[in-house]
Structure 1
Protein backbone atom coordinates (compact mmCIF):
# COMPACT_ATOMS: atom_id res chain seq x y z
CA UNK A 1 0.00 0.00 0.00
CA UNK A 2 1.52 3.27 -1.11
CA UNK A 3 1.42 6.23 1.26
CA UNK A 4 0.16 9.57 -0.03
CA UNK A 5 2.71 11.29 2.20
CA UNK A 6 5.65 9.72 3.99
CA UNK A 7 8.19 11.29 6.28
CA UNK A 8 10.09 10.28 9.38
CA UNK A 9 7.51 9.18 11.92
CA UNK A 10 4.53 9.76 9.62
CA UNK A 11 2.42 7.96 7.03
CA UNK A 12 -0.67 9.57 5.48
CA UNK A 13 -3.06 7.59 3.28
CA UNK A 14 -5.65 9.01 0.89
CA UNK A 15 -8.65 6.76 0.36
CA UNK A 16 -11.60 4.89 1.81
CA UNK A 17 -11.16 4.33 5.52
CA UNK A 18 -12.21 0.67 5.67
CA UNK A 19 -10.26 -0.36 2.56
CA UNK A 20 -7.15 1.35 3.89
CA UNK A 21 -7.47 -0.13 7.38
CA UNK A 22 -7.88 -3.59 5.87
CA UNK A 23 -4.46 -3.26 4.22
CA UNK A 24 -2.63 -2.56 7.48
CA UNK A 25 -1.20 -5.50 9.47
CA UNK A 26 -3.27 -7.03 12.22
CA UNK A 27 -2.60 -5.93 15.79
CA UNK A 28 -0.03 -3.30 14.78
CA UNK A 29 -1.47 -0.07 16.30
CA UNK A 30 -1.15 1.06 19.90
CA UNK A 31 -3.82 3.77 20.06
CA UNK A 32 -6.59 4.96 17.74
CA UNK A 33 -8.30 8.32 17.95
CA UNK A 34 -11.28 8.52 15.61
CA UNK A 35 -13.23 11.66 14.79
CA UNK A 36 -15.73 10.17 12.30
CA UNK A 37 -18.40 12.13 10.42
CA UNK A 38 -21.06 13.32 12.85
CA UNK A 39 -23.76 13.14 10.14
CA UNK A 40 -25.12 16.54 11.15
CA UNK A 41 -24.99 18.28 7.75
CA UNK A 42 -28.76 18.61 7.46
CA UNK A 43 -29.13 22.02 5.72
CA UNK A 44 -29.62 23.76 9.06
CA UNK A 45 -27.68 26.73 10.38
CA UNK A 46 -25.41 27.65 13.26
CA UNK A 47 -23.38 30.60 14.50
CA UNK A 48 -19.71 31.17 13.67
CA UNK A 49 -17.78 34.34 14.54
CA UNK A 50 -21.07 36.07 15.28
CA UNK A 51 -22.59 35.23 11.90
CA UNK A 52 -25.30 32.82 10.81
CA UNK A 53 -23.71 30.05 8.70
CA UNK A 54 -24.75 26.69 7.27
CA UNK A 55 -24.05 23.56 9.30
CA UNK A 56 -23.19 21.65 6.14
CA UNK A 57 -19.60 20.39 6.15
CA UNK A 58 -19.59 18.36 2.92
CA UNK A 59 -21.05 15.26 1.31
CA UNK A 60 -18.93 13.11 3.62
CA UNK A 61 -20.88 14.43 6.64
CA UNK A 62 -24.44 13.95 5.35
CA UNK A 63 -26.54 11.22 6.93
CA UNK A 64 -27.55 8.40 4.61
CA UNK A 65 -30.28 7.25 6.98
CA UNK A 66 -30.02 5.41 10.26
CA UNK A 67 -29.40 1.97 8.76
CA UNK A 68 -26.69 3.13 6.36
CA UNK A 69 -25.04 5.28 9.03
CA UNK A 70 -24.95 2.31 11.41
CA UNK A 71 -23.46 0.09 8.71
CA UNK A 72 -20.73 2.65 8.05
CA UNK A 73 -19.81 3.16 11.70
CA UNK A 74 -19.98 -0.56 12.40
CA UNK A 75 -17.62 -1.28 9.48
CA UNK A 76 -14.86 1.17 10.35
CA UNK A 77 -14.97 0.27 14.05
CA UNK A 78 -14.69 -3.41 13.14
CA UNK A 79 -11.70 -2.61 10.90
CA UNK A 80 -10.09 -0.73 13.80
CA UNK A 81 -10.49 -3.78 16.01
CA UNK A 82 -8.44 -5.86 13.58
CA UNK A 83 -5.44 -3.48 13.49
CA UNK A 84 -5.43 -2.57 17.18
CA UNK A 85 -3.00 -4.37 19.47
CA UNK A 86 -4.58 -6.63 22.14
CA UNK A 87 -3.86 -4.07 24.87
CA UNK A 88 -4.42 -1.00 22.71
CA UNK A 89 -7.40 1.31 23.02
CA UNK A 90 -9.78 3.32 20.85
CA UNK A 91 -11.18 6.81 21.33
CA UNK A 92 -14.24 8.03 19.39
CA UNK A 93 -15.52 11.61 19.45
CA UNK A 94 -19.03 12.66 18.52
CA UNK A 95 -22.25 14.47 19.28
CA UNK A 96 -25.72 13.01 19.73
CA UNK A 97 -25.98 12.76 15.95
CA UNK A 98 -23.41 9.96 15.86
CA UNK A 99 -22.03 8.93 19.23
CA UNK A 100 -24.89 6.64 20.21
CA UNK A 101 -24.60 4.69 16.95
CA UNK A 102 -20.87 4.31 17.58
CA UNK A 103 -21.50 3.19 21.16
CA UNK A 104 -24.05 0.64 19.96
CA UNK A 105 -21.56 -0.70 17.40
CA UNK A 106 -18.88 -1.00 20.09
CA UNK A 107 -21.19 -2.98 22.33
CA UNK A 108 -22.41 -5.24 19.52
CA UNK A 109 -18.81 -6.08 18.63
CA UNK A 110 -17.88 -6.90 22.23
CA UNK A 111 -15.63 -3.94 23.01
CA UNK A 112 -15.35 -2.85 26.66
CA UNK A 113 -16.08 0.84 27.23
CA UNK A 114 -13.63 2.27 29.78
CA UNK A 115 -15.03 5.79 30.05
CA UNK A 116 -17.26 8.29 28.38
CA UNK A 117 -15.84 11.80 28.56
CA UNK A 118 -17.84 15.02 28.42
CA UNK A 119 -15.73 17.58 26.60
CA UNK A 120 -17.22 20.90 27.71
CA UNK A 121 -16.47 23.87 25.43
CA UNK A 122 -16.78 27.13 27.41
CA UNK A 123 -16.53 29.19 24.20
CA UNK A 124 -19.05 27.17 22.16
CA UNK A 125 -21.19 29.01 19.60
CA UNK A 126 -24.58 30.34 20.77
CA UNK A 127 -27.86 28.81 19.64
CA UNK A 128 -29.60 31.09 17.14
CA UNK A 129 -32.99 29.40 17.02
CA UNK A 130 -33.70 29.97 20.74
CA UNK A 131 -35.76 26.78 20.63
CA UNK A 132 -33.40 24.47 22.52
CA UNK A 133 -30.48 24.40 24.96
CA UNK A 134 -27.18 25.66 23.59
CA UNK A 135 -24.96 22.75 22.52
CA UNK A 136 -21.76 23.17 24.53
CA UNK A 137 -20.19 19.73 24.68
CA UNK A 138 -19.11 16.68 22.74
CA UNK A 139 -18.79 13.12 23.99
CA UNK A 140 -15.70 10.94 23.75
CA UNK A 141 -15.90 7.17 24.20
CA UNK A 142 -12.79 5.34 25.33
CA UNK A 143 -12.83 1.59 24.75
CA UNK A 144 -10.59 -1.48 24.63
CA UNK A 145 -11.03 -4.74 22.74
CA UNK A 146 -11.94 -6.88 25.78
CA UNK A 147 -12.63 -6.28 29.44
CA UNK A 148 -9.47 -8.18 30.43
CA UNK A 149 -7.18 -6.22 28.11
CA UNK A 150 -4.45 -4.31 29.98
CA UNK A 151 -4.88 -0.88 28.43
CA UNK A 152 -2.43 1.96 28.99
CA UNK A 153 -3.50 4.65 31.43
CA UNK A 154 -0.85 7.10 32.61
CA UNK A 155 -2.61 7.87 35.86
CA UNK A 156 0.06 10.08 37.43
CA UNK A 157 0.37 12.25 34.32
CA UNK A 158 -3.35 12.93 34.52
CA UNK A 159 -3.46 13.43 38.28
CA UNK A 160 -0.35 15.58 38.69
CA UNK A 161 -0.13 17.21 35.24
CA UNK A 162 -0.60 20.91 34.64
CA UNK A 163 -4.01 21.82 33.16
CA UNK A 164 -4.31 25.53 34.03
CA UNK A 165 -7.32 26.32 31.84
CA UNK A 166 -9.49 23.42 33.02
CA UNK A 167 -11.54 24.73 35.93
CA UNK A 168 -12.77 21.23 36.81
CA UNK A 169 -9.29 19.72 37.18
CA UNK A 170 -7.96 20.49 40.65
CA UNK A 171 -4.19 20.34 41.31
CA UNK A 172 -2.96 16.91 42.45
CA UNK A 173 -6.48 15.46 42.32
CA UNK A 174 -7.76 12.66 40.10
CA UNK A 175 -8.90 13.82 36.69
CA UNK A 176 -12.65 13.57 36.26
CA UNK A 177 -14.65 12.63 33.19
CA UNK A 178 -15.59 16.27 32.45
CA UNK A 179 -12.88 18.11 30.55
CA UNK A 180 -13.05 21.88 30.07
CA UNK A 181 -11.17 22.66 26.87
CA UNK A 182 -11.82 25.51 24.44
CA UNK A 183 -12.13 25.26 20.68
CA UNK A 184 -8.96 25.43 18.48
CA UNK A 185 -6.75 28.44 19.07
CA UNK A 186 -5.88 30.91 16.33
CA UNK A 187 -2.37 29.53 15.88
CA UNK A 188 -3.78 26.06 15.21
CA UNK A 189 -5.55 27.43 12.12
CA UNK A 190 -2.41 28.81 10.48
CA UNK A 191 -3.15 27.00 7.21
CA UNK A 192 -6.93 27.27 7.46
CA UNK A 193 -9.54 25.51 9.56
CA UNK A 194 -11.04 22.09 9.03
CA UNK A 195 -14.83 22.22 9.63
CA UNK A 196 -14.58 19.68 12.45
CA UNK A 197 -11.09 20.51 13.72
CA UNK A 198 -10.26 19.49 17.28
CA UNK A 199 -8.07 21.56 19.62
CA UNK A 200 -4.53 20.35 20.15
CA UNK A 201 -5.00 20.43 23.93
CA UNK A 202 -7.75 17.81 23.65
CA UNK A 203 -5.52 15.44 21.69
CA UNK A 204 -2.58 16.15 23.97
CA UNK A 205 -4.65 14.90 26.88
CA UNK A 206 -5.91 11.80 25.09
CA UNK A 207 -2.48 10.79 23.79
CA UNK A 208 -0.55 11.42 27.01
CA UNK A 209 -3.21 9.60 29.03
CA UNK A 210 -3.50 6.43 26.95
CA UNK A 211 -0.25 5.82 25.07
CA UNK A 212 3.50 5.75 25.62
CA UNK A 213 6.46 7.25 23.80
CA UNK A 214 7.26 5.35 20.61
CA UNK A 215 3.69 4.06 20.18
CA UNK A 216 1.94 4.25 16.82
CA UNK A 217 -1.09 6.53 16.93
CA UNK A 218 -3.68 6.05 14.19
CA UNK A 219 -6.37 8.52 13.14
CA UNK A 220 -8.71 7.00 10.52
CA UNK A 221 -10.38 10.39 9.80
CA UNK A 222 -7.33 12.60 10.20
CA UNK A 223 -8.59 15.80 8.53
CA UNK A 224 -6.20 18.58 9.55
CA UNK A 225 -3.99 16.05 11.42
CA UNK A 226 -4.34 17.51 14.90
CA UNK A 227 -3.86 13.96 16.20
CA UNK A 228 -0.59 13.72 14.29
CA UNK A 229 0.65 17.08 15.54
CA UNK A 230 0.07 15.97 19.12
CA UNK A 231 1.51 12.50 18.52
CA UNK A 232 4.78 13.88 17.15
CA UNK A 233 4.99 16.50 19.88
CA UNK A 234 4.89 13.72 22.46
CA UNK A 235 7.39 11.44 20.71
CA UNK A 236 4.84 9.06 19.20
CA UNK A 237 4.51 8.01 15.54
CA UNK A 238 1.51 8.71 13.39
CA UNK A 239 -0.61 7.08 10.70
CA UNK A 240 -3.47 9.15 9.27
CA UNK A 241 -6.19 8.28 6.78
CA UNK A 242 -8.55 10.67 5.01
CA UNK A 243 -10.79 10.51 1.95
CA UNK A 244 -10.47 14.22 1.11
CA UNK A 245 -7.29 15.19 -0.73
CA UNK A 246 -7.71 18.92 -0.08
CA UNK A 247 -7.48 18.42 3.68
CA UNK A 248 -4.29 16.40 3.38
CA UNK A 249 -2.68 18.83 0.93
CA UNK A 250 -3.71 22.13 2.51
CA UNK A 251 -3.87 21.33 6.22
CA UNK A 252 -2.44 17.99 7.35
CA UNK A 253 0.83 17.94 5.43
CA UNK A 254 1.81 21.59 6.17
CA UNK A 255 1.01 21.20 9.89
CA UNK A 256 2.93 17.94 10.22
CA UNK A 257 5.85 19.34 8.26
CA UNK A 258 6.02 22.27 10.68
CA UNK A 259 6.28 19.86 13.62
CA UNK A 260 8.96 17.79 11.89
CA UNK A 261 11.00 20.89 11.17
CA UNK A 262 10.59 22.12 14.72
CA UNK A 263 11.49 18.79 16.32
CA UNK A 264 14.20 17.80 13.86
CA UNK A 265 12.57 14.36 13.93
CA UNK A 266 14.73 11.38 12.91
CA UNK A 267 12.44 8.48 13.80
CA UNK A 268 13.22 5.34 11.83
CA UNK A 269 10.64 3.23 10.02
CA UNK A 270 11.01 -0.50 10.51
CA UNK A 271 9.57 -3.50 8.70
CA UNK A 272 7.43 -6.24 10.20
CA UNK A 273 6.91 -9.62 8.63
CA UNK A 274 3.54 -11.36 8.63
CA UNK A 275 2.82 -14.37 6.44
CA UNK A 276 6.07 -13.71 4.53
CA UNK A 277 4.87 -10.27 3.40
CA UNK A 278 6.46 -6.95 4.37
CA UNK A 279 4.33 -4.02 5.40
CA UNK A 280 5.49 -0.44 5.55
CA UNK A 281 4.21 0.69 8.94
CA UNK A 282 5.53 2.28 12.09
CA UNK A 283 6.17 -0.48 14.66
Structure 2
Protein backbone atom coordinates (compact mmCIF):
# COMPACT_ATOMS: atom_id res chain seq x y z
CA UNK A 1 0.00 0.00 0.00
CA UNK A 2 2.80 2.45 0.87
CA UNK A 3 4.55 1.77 -2.45
CA UNK A 4 1.28 2.25 -4.34
CA UNK A 5 0.49 5.56 -2.65
CA UNK A 6 4.03 6.85 -3.20
CA UNK A 7 3.72 6.05 -6.91
CA UNK A 8 0.30 7.69 -7.12
CA UNK A 9 1.69 10.80 -5.44
CA UNK A 10 4.33 11.10 -8.17
CA UNK A 11 1.60 10.85 -10.82
CA UNK A 12 -0.47 13.47 -9.03
CA UNK A 13 2.47 15.88 -8.84
CA UNK A 14 2.78 15.75 -12.63
CA UNK A 15 -0.98 16.17 -13.08
CA UNK A 16 -0.95 19.23 -10.84
CA UNK A 17 2.07 20.64 -12.69
CA UNK A 18 0.14 20.73 -15.98
CA UNK A 19 -3.24 21.62 -14.45
CA UNK A 20 -4.70 24.99 -15.41
CA UNK A 21 -5.05 27.46 -12.53
CA UNK A 22 -8.85 27.30 -12.99
CA UNK A 23 -8.87 23.56 -13.61
CA UNK A 24 -9.96 20.53 -11.60
CA UNK A 25 -8.76 17.04 -10.78
CA UNK A 26 -11.32 14.28 -10.34
CA UNK A 27 -9.79 11.14 -8.82
CA UNK A 28 -12.10 8.12 -8.96
CA UNK A 29 -11.31 5.33 -6.50
CA UNK A 30 -12.96 2.37 -4.83
CA UNK A 31 -11.89 0.30 -1.87
CA UNK A 32 -8.87 -1.98 -1.73
CA UNK A 33 -9.50 -5.32 -0.02
CA UNK A 34 -6.74 -7.55 1.33
CA UNK A 35 -7.46 -10.71 3.33
CA UNK A 36 -10.96 -9.50 4.05
CA UNK A 37 -9.85 -6.09 5.36
CA UNK A 38 -11.13 -2.99 3.54
CA UNK A 39 -8.87 0.01 2.87
CA UNK A 40 -10.92 3.12 1.86
CA UNK A 41 -8.71 4.63 -0.83
CA UNK A 42 -10.43 8.02 -0.84
CA UNK A 43 -9.49 8.45 2.83
CA UNK A 44 -5.88 7.47 2.09
CA UNK A 45 -5.66 9.85 -0.90
CA UNK A 46 -7.08 12.91 0.86
CA UNK A 47 -3.91 13.80 2.85
CA UNK A 48 -1.81 13.42 -0.31
CA UNK A 49 -3.92 15.97 -2.16
CA UNK A 50 -3.84 18.32 0.82
CA UNK A 51 -0.05 18.01 1.06
CA UNK A 52 0.14 18.96 -2.62
CA UNK A 53 -1.90 22.10 -1.97
CA UNK A 54 -5.27 21.21 -3.50
CA UNK A 55 -8.72 21.94 -2.09
CA UNK A 56 -11.51 19.37 -1.92
CA UNK A 57 -14.76 20.62 -3.45
CA UNK A 58 -16.85 17.46 -3.32
CA UNK A 59 -16.62 13.85 -2.29
CA UNK A 60 -19.04 12.32 -4.77
CA UNK A 61 -20.57 8.91 -4.21
CA UNK A 62 -21.27 6.86 -7.36
CA UNK A 63 -23.75 4.12 -6.49
CA UNK A 64 -24.54 1.15 -8.71
CA UNK A 65 -26.72 -1.93 -8.27
CA UNK A 66 -24.48 -4.75 -9.49
CA UNK A 67 -21.07 -6.10 -8.50
CA UNK A 68 -19.37 -9.00 -6.77
CA UNK A 69 -21.35 -10.53 -3.92
CA UNK A 70 -19.58 -10.87 -0.58
CA UNK A 71 -20.05 -13.60 2.02
CA UNK A 72 -18.25 -12.19 5.06
CA UNK A 73 -19.21 -8.51 4.76
CA UNK A 74 -21.79 -6.36 3.02
CA UNK A 75 -21.40 -6.21 -0.76
CA UNK A 76 -19.75 -3.03 -2.06
CA UNK A 77 -22.03 -1.00 -4.29
CA UNK A 78 -20.33 2.37 -4.61
CA UNK A 79 -17.11 4.12 -5.58
CA UNK A 80 -15.91 7.62 -4.77
CA UNK A 81 -14.96 10.59 -6.94
CA UNK A 82 -12.77 13.19 -5.22
CA UNK A 83 -13.00 16.60 -6.89
CA UNK A 84 -10.11 18.94 -6.12
CA UNK A 85 -9.11 22.38 -7.42
CA UNK A 86 -5.93 24.44 -7.21
CA UNK A 87 -7.61 27.57 -5.90
CA UNK A 88 -10.96 29.23 -5.26
CA UNK A 89 -11.39 30.33 -8.86
CA UNK A 90 -12.40 27.32 -10.92
CA UNK A 91 -14.75 26.31 -13.74
CA UNK A 92 -18.10 25.01 -12.54
CA UNK A 93 -20.98 24.92 -15.02
CA UNK A 94 -23.87 23.91 -12.77
CA UNK A 95 -26.53 24.84 -15.32
CA UNK A 96 -25.07 22.30 -17.78
CA UNK A 97 -25.67 19.40 -15.40
CA UNK A 98 -28.85 20.34 -13.56
CA UNK A 99 -31.50 17.64 -13.25
CA UNK A 100 -35.28 18.06 -13.35
CA UNK A 101 -36.83 19.31 -10.14
CA UNK A 102 -39.05 16.91 -8.25
CA UNK A 103 -41.77 19.58 -8.06
CA UNK A 104 -41.25 21.87 -11.09
CA UNK A 105 -43.27 25.05 -10.89
CA UNK A 106 -43.58 24.92 -7.10
CA UNK A 107 -44.02 28.39 -5.60
CA UNK A 108 -43.04 29.94 -2.28
CA UNK A 109 -46.20 29.98 -0.13
CA UNK A 110 -45.11 32.66 2.33
CA UNK A 111 -42.46 35.27 3.02
CA UNK A 112 -41.05 37.99 0.77
CA UNK A 113 -40.85 35.56 -2.20
CA UNK A 114 -44.46 34.38 -1.87
CA UNK A 115 -45.83 33.38 -5.27
CA UNK A 116 -42.39 33.19 -6.88
CA UNK A 117 -40.82 29.90 -8.07
CA UNK A 118 -39.08 28.10 -5.20
CA UNK A 119 -36.56 26.38 -7.47
CA UNK A 120 -34.37 27.16 -10.46
CA UNK A 121 -36.40 26.87 -13.70
CA UNK A 122 -33.44 25.03 -15.28
CA UNK A 123 -33.63 22.27 -12.69
CA UNK A 124 -31.92 21.44 -9.43
CA UNK A 125 -28.36 20.74 -8.36
CA UNK A 126 -27.67 17.00 -8.80
CA UNK A 127 -25.98 16.80 -5.36
CA UNK A 128 -22.94 14.71 -4.46
CA UNK A 129 -24.72 11.33 -4.44
CA UNK A 130 -24.92 9.88 -7.93
CA UNK A 131 -27.22 6.90 -7.81
CA UNK A 132 -25.95 5.56 -10.95
CA UNK A 133 -28.91 7.90 -14.24
CA UNK A 134 -32.53 6.82 -13.89
CA UNK A 135 -34.25 8.54 -11.06
CA UNK A 136 -31.87 11.50 -11.04
CA UNK A 137 -33.10 12.72 -14.41
CA UNK A 138 -36.68 11.83 -13.51
CA UNK A 139 -36.96 12.00 -9.74
CA UNK A 140 -33.67 13.57 -8.66
CA UNK A 141 -31.39 10.59 -7.98
CA UNK A 142 -28.48 9.67 -10.26
CA UNK A 143 -28.35 6.06 -11.45
CA UNK A 144 -25.33 5.22 -13.63
CA UNK A 145 -24.88 1.46 -13.96
CA UNK A 146 -21.36 0.07 -13.92
CA UNK A 147 -20.01 -1.64 -17.03
CA UNK A 148 -20.85 -5.34 -16.80
CA UNK A 149 -21.22 -8.09 -19.42
CA UNK A 150 -24.55 -6.82 -20.81
CA UNK A 151 -23.54 -3.14 -20.93
CA UNK A 152 -23.36 -1.83 -24.53
CA UNK A 153 -19.91 -0.31 -23.90
CA UNK A 154 -18.30 -3.46 -22.45
CA UNK A 155 -14.77 -4.37 -23.62
CA UNK A 156 -12.19 -6.76 -22.18
CA UNK A 157 -11.01 -4.15 -19.66
CA UNK A 158 -11.72 -5.57 -16.17
CA UNK A 159 -12.66 -2.29 -14.45
CA UNK A 160 -14.01 -0.12 -17.25
CA UNK A 161 -16.18 2.80 -16.18
CA UNK A 162 -19.11 4.12 -18.22
CA UNK A 163 -18.81 7.12 -20.51
CA UNK A 164 -21.83 8.79 -18.88
CA UNK A 165 -20.05 8.88 -15.51
CA UNK A 166 -17.33 11.04 -17.08
CA UNK A 167 -19.76 13.19 -19.04
CA UNK A 168 -21.15 14.96 -15.99
CA UNK A 169 -17.65 15.83 -14.77
CA UNK A 170 -16.62 17.14 -18.18
CA UNK A 171 -19.78 19.20 -18.66
CA UNK A 172 -19.56 20.72 -15.18
CA UNK A 173 -15.81 21.27 -14.81
CA UNK A 174 -14.64 22.23 -18.31
CA UNK A 175 -15.70 24.48 -21.16
CA UNK A 176 -15.82 23.68 -24.86
CA UNK A 177 -12.35 23.51 -26.44
CA UNK A 178 -10.72 22.93 -23.01
CA UNK A 179 -8.16 20.16 -22.61
CA UNK A 180 -9.03 17.02 -20.63
CA UNK A 181 -6.22 14.71 -19.50
CA UNK A 182 -6.57 11.11 -18.26
CA UNK A 183 -3.32 9.54 -16.96
CA UNK A 184 -5.03 6.14 -16.69
CA UNK A 185 -6.99 6.22 -19.92
CA UNK A 186 -7.90 2.53 -20.17
CA UNK A 187 -10.11 1.87 -23.17
CA UNK A 188 -10.94 5.52 -23.76
CA UNK A 189 -14.11 6.28 -21.78
CA UNK A 190 -12.81 9.72 -20.79
CA UNK A 191 -11.61 10.41 -24.33
CA UNK A 192 -15.01 9.57 -25.81
CA UNK A 193 -16.86 11.68 -23.24
CA UNK A 194 -14.55 14.61 -23.97
CA UNK A 195 -14.91 14.35 -27.76
CA UNK A 196 -18.68 13.98 -27.42
CA UNK A 197 -18.84 17.42 -25.79
CA UNK A 198 -16.31 19.25 -27.97
CA UNK A 199 -13.31 19.07 -25.64
CA UNK A 200 -9.72 18.24 -26.52
CA UNK A 201 -8.36 15.06 -24.97
CA UNK A 202 -5.01 13.50 -24.11
CA UNK A 203 -4.80 10.08 -22.48
CA UNK A 204 -2.12 7.63 -21.36
CA UNK A 205 -2.22 3.96 -20.46
CA UNK A 206 0.51 1.48 -19.58
CA UNK A 207 -1.15 -1.38 -21.49
CA UNK A 208 -0.78 -1.13 -25.25
CA UNK A 209 -3.75 -3.47 -25.83
CA UNK A 210 -6.03 -1.00 -24.06
CA UNK A 211 -4.64 1.89 -26.09
CA UNK A 212 -5.45 -0.03 -29.26
CA UNK A 213 -9.00 -0.70 -28.03
CA UNK A 214 -9.35 3.00 -27.17
CA UNK A 215 -8.21 3.97 -30.67
CA UNK A 216 -10.78 1.64 -32.24
CA UNK A 217 -13.55 2.96 -29.99
CA UNK A 218 -12.64 6.58 -30.75
CA UNK A 219 -12.62 5.80 -34.48
CA UNK A 220 -16.05 4.18 -34.23
CA UNK A 221 -17.33 7.15 -32.21
CA UNK A 222 -16.12 9.65 -34.81
CA UNK A 223 -17.88 7.58 -37.48
CA UNK A 224 -21.07 7.53 -35.42
CA UNK A 225 -20.91 3.75 -35.04
CA UNK A 226 -19.94 3.30 -31.36
CA UNK A 227 -22.60 1.88 -29.08
CA UNK A 228 -22.99 4.09 -26.01
CA UNK A 229 -25.45 4.14 -23.18
CA UNK A 230 -27.27 7.49 -23.60
CA UNK A 231 -26.83 10.02 -20.82
CA UNK A 232 -30.00 9.98 -18.75
CA UNK A 233 -31.38 6.69 -20.05
CA UNK A 234 -33.60 4.92 -17.54
CA UNK A 235 -32.05 1.84 -15.97
CA UNK A 236 -33.86 -1.30 -17.08
CA UNK A 237 -36.18 -2.94 -14.57
CA UNK A 238 -38.19 -6.12 -15.29
CA UNK A 239 -41.91 -5.50 -15.65
CA UNK A 240 -43.03 -9.08 -15.07
CA UNK A 241 -43.99 -9.54 -18.72
CA UNK A 242 -40.57 -10.98 -19.52
CA UNK A 243 -39.16 -14.28 -18.34
CA UNK A 244 -37.71 -13.38 -14.96
CA UNK A 245 -36.25 -15.51 -12.20
CA UNK A 246 -38.76 -16.79 -9.66
CA UNK A 247 -38.27 -17.98 -6.09
CA UNK A 248 -38.02 -21.81 -6.31
CA UNK A 249 -40.92 -23.64 -4.68
CA UNK A 250 -38.41 -25.75 -2.73
CA UNK A 251 -37.04 -22.59 -1.09
CA UNK A 252 -40.52 -21.58 -0.05
CA UNK A 253 -41.14 -25.02 1.44
CA UNK A 254 -37.88 -24.92 3.38
CA UNK A 255 -38.77 -21.56 4.85
CA UNK A 256 -42.27 -22.69 5.77
CA UNK A 257 -43.83 -20.21 3.37
CA UNK A 258 -45.59 -22.81 1.26
CA UNK A 259 -48.01 -25.14 3.11
TM-score range, shorter chain: 0.5 to 0.7
Identify, as 1 or 2, the structure richer in strand. 1
* 1:125 pairs with 2:87: no
Take 2:81 and 2:223, find their aligned partners in 1: how far apart are those partners? 31
Matched residue, 1:187: 152
What's the RMSD between the two structures over aligned residues? 1.9
Q: Which residue among 216, 240, 252 is the counterpart of 1:254?
A: 216
* Counterparts of 1:155 and 1:195, CA distance in 2: 32
1:156 is matched with which residue?
Answer: 95
Q: In structure 2, the residue corresponding to 1:78 is in which secondary structure?
A: helix
Partner of 2:53: 110
Alpha-carbon distance in structure 1 between the residues aligned to 2:8 and 2:43 = 11
CA-CA distance at 1:160 after TM superposition: 4.3
Gapped regions of structure 1 (runs ≥ 5): 1-65, 163-170, 264-283
Matches of 2:200 and 2:222, distance apart in 1: 11
Q: Which residue of 2 aligns with 1:143?
A: 84
Q: Cα deviation per residue 1:155-174 (whole Å; 9 max; x = unaligned)?
A: 11222469xxxxxxxx8222
Deviation (angstroms), 1:198: 0.5
Preserved contact between residue 42 and residue 80 of structure 2 (Cα < 8 Å): yes
Matched, 1:178 2:101: no
Superimposed CA distance per residue, residues 91-127 of structure 1 (whole angstroms, 9 cap, x where no aligned partner): 00001333223222101111001101000002x2242
Report 1 or 2 for greater relative contact order, CA contacts < 8 Å, sequence distance ≥ 6: 1
Within the alignment, does 1:218 sit opposite 2:181 as a pair?
A: yes
Figure out how many residues of one structure are paired with residues of the other and give that number: 183
Contact 2:30 2:42 in 1 (8 A): yes
Question: Could you report, residue by residue, the CA deviation over 1:182-206 in whole angstroms, capped at 9, with x for unpaired residues?
Answer: 11263212xx231110011101111
Cα distance, 1:126–1:71 mapped onto 2, change above 3 Å: closer
Which one of the candidate residues 166, 175, 190 is aligned to 1:227?
A: 190
Calculate the TM-score normalised by the size of structure 2.
0.67
Q: Any gaps of 5 or more consecutive residues in structure 2?
A: 33-40, 102-121, 132-143, 226-259
Any residues of structure 2 matched to 1:1-283 within 5 Å, and which?
Answer: 66-97=1-32, 98-122=41-65, 124-129=66-71, 131-146=72-87, 148=88, 150-160=89-99, 172-180=123-131, 181-184=144-147, 186-189=151-154, 192-249=155-212, 251-262=213-224
The whole-number CA distance in structure 2 between the counterparts of 1:143 and 1:68 is 23
CA contact (8 A) 1:117 1:178 kept: yes
Higher-Rg structure is 2
Give the TM-score taking structure 1 as reference length: 0.61
Do 1:73 and 1:101's aligned partners in 2 also have CA atoms closer than 8 Å? Answer: no
8 A contact 1:220–1:240 mirrored in 2:
yes
Question: Structure 1: how far apart are the matches of 2:207 and 2:68?
Answer: 29
- Alpha-carbon offset, residue 262 of structure 1: 2.6
- Aligned residue for 2:123, secondary structure, equals coil
